Amino acid sequence: MTDRVALVTGGGRGIGQAIAVQIAAEGARVALLARSEDELNHTAKLIADHGGEASIHVADISEAGRMAAALAAITAHWGPVDVLVNNAATVAPLGASATLDPDEWADAITLNVIAAARLSFAVLPAMLDQRWGRIVNVSSSIAAHPGGMLRANAYATSKAALEAHTLNLAAELSDTEVTVNAFRPGGVDTAMQAWIRDQNPEQIGAELHQRFASNYEQGTLLTAAQSASLLLPQIATSATGQIWDAADAT
Ligand SMILES: NC(=O)c1ccc[n+]([C@@H]2O[C@H](COP(=O)([O-])OP(=O)(O)OC[C@H]3O[C@@H](n4cnc5c(N)ncnc54)[C@H](OP(=O)(O)O)[C@@H]3O)[C@@H](O)[C@H]2O)c1
């Protein structure tokens, strides 16, 4: 990773923050992209405190123009992106599908799938030119069992689509040095998990609420650092078209 340029979306907190800190510790210069400037500054400070280099870029990546502007700023600052970690996502909306706002459902697909694909397509030309690149799409175990998380239709659909996108792109690029893989991070103690526990059980379903509450209470969640440490050794390899599942390593 030494002197590579890495872009981590959602690098302000949770799993994205841990991935960013660990990639920086391996010598990469890290661009952090999310909406909350204070959280991005916090991650940048963590990286700087350990002797690493980071830049922060505030943008809603669901908005294609803002995402493109942020990427242009990153490239101007560091040069082309060598490692892209598409980590930012939402688990909302949760609830019975008949009651969901279809626009909220579409917003989730826009962030979790379309923004990730747009960013990948934008960084690909330079990666192909330099004959080296790493794209990691952060998925979820829900993609393996889309029927296993009721009242999370947008999330299940988005992660299954993200994995199909990953595997198709990896196959297309198989004779290049650009790899494309997905990472299922396991159940991780983050703001996303806390948000699910904070939802009304009547809205999201008692079964789903109970499952997330008991995972937390039983202490079975990974820390973000533990999850990220399962990804880092994989990024260094030339493997492509893989679904790396934290559950296989824990
Ligand atoms: N936690 C788990 O147990 C778990 C399990 C399986 C998969 N995952 C996956 O792991 C990834 C990270 O999850 P997490 O638990 O760390 O979530 P999190 O704590 O909610 O963090 C999400 C990150 O994404 C950023 N983000 C959200 N919407 C954005 C937008 N429109 N534009 C730019 N940035 C945006 C957030 O920052 P801002 O809000 O400031 O923009 C934040 O930095 C996600 O892909 C998630 O699906 C998590």
The pLDDT tens digits for 73-98 are 999 999 999 999 999 999 999 999 99
CB of 138 closer than 6 A to ligand 1?
A: yes
> What's the mean pLDDT in 182-190?
98
Question: Is 216 an active-site residue?
Answer: no
34 CA from centroid of ligand 1 (Å):
9
Q: What is the pLDDT of residue 236?
A: 87
% of the chain with per-residue pLDDT over 70: 100
Active-site residue (options: 78, 105, 155, 212): 155
Q: What is the pLDDT of residue 35?
A: 98
CB of 89 closer than 6 A to ligand 1?
A: yes
90 CA from centroid of ligand 1 (Å):
6
> What's the mean pLDDT in 135-141?
98
Q: What is the per-residue pLDDT across 4-37, written as a single tens digit (0 to 9) for each?
A: 999 999 999 999 999 999 999 999 999 999 999 9
Q: What is the pLDDT of residue 46?
A: 98
- The tokens for 146 are 């889309």
E strand or H helix at 47, and its extent?
helix 37-49
CA angle 116, 97, 151 (to 5 degrees): 75
Q: How many CB atoms lie under 10 A from the CB of residue 153?
A: 18
Q: What is the mean pLDDT of the chain?
A: 97
Residue 223 region, left (φ>0) first, then alpha (ψ -120 to 50), else beta? beta
Find the helix packing angle between 153-172 and 116-130, rounded to 10°: 20
* Pick from 90, 209, 103, 96: nearest CA to 155: 90
Residue type present at position 48? A
> 58 — phi, psi (to 5°)?
-95, 115
pTM metric for this prediction? 0.98
175 CA from centroid of ligand 1 (Å):
32
118 CA from centroid of ligand 1 (Å):
17
Choose the residue to mutate in 188, 230, 245 for probing ligand 1, maximizing ligand atoms within 8 Å of C-beta.
188
Closest Cα to atom 30, ligand 1: which residue? Answer: 60
User: How buried is residue 101: exposed, middle or buried, by Cβ count under 10 Å (0-12/13-18/19+)?
Assistant: exposed
Q: What is the per-residue pLDDT across 93-106, written as a single tens digit (0 to 9) for each?
A: 999 999 999 999 99
Q: What is the pLDDT of residue 19?
A: 98
Q: Looking at 120-124, 129-133, 177-181, 246-250, which range is the least confident one?
A: 246-250
Beta bridge partners of 7: 31, 84
Judged by DSSP in three states, 66 sits in: helix
Under the banding of pLDDT at 50, 70 and 90, the label for residue 66 is: very high
* Pick from 144, 170, 145, 143: nearest CA to 159: 143
Choose the residue to mutate in 33, 35, 86, 223 for probing ligand 1, maximizing ligand atoms within 8 Å of C-beta.
35
Cα–Cα distance, 39 to 102 (Å, whole number): 30
Residue type present at position 69? A
Under the banding of pLDDT at 50, 70 and 90, the label for residue 232 is: very high
pLDDT higher than threshold 80 for residue 250: no
pLDDT higher than threshold 90 for residue 168: yes
> What's the mean pLDDT in 153-178?
98
CB of 193 closer than 6 A to ligand 1?
A: yes
Cα–Cα distance, 250 to 246 (Å, whole number): 6
CB of 187 closer than 6 A to ligand 1?
A: yes
Q: What is the pLDDT of residue 249?
A: 86
* Closest ligand 1 atom, residue 112 Cα: 45
178 CA from centroid of ligand 1 (Å):
25
Q: What is the per-residue pLDDT across 208-228, written as a single tens digit (0 to 9) for each?
A: 999 999 999 999 999 999 999
pLDDT higher than threshold 90 for residue 196: yes
- Where are any strands of DSSP class E within the chain? 5-9, 29-34, 53-58, 83-86, 133-138, 178-184, 243-245
Q: What is the pLDDT of residue 209?
A: 96
> Does the CA dihedral 196-197-201-207 come out positive or negative?
positive
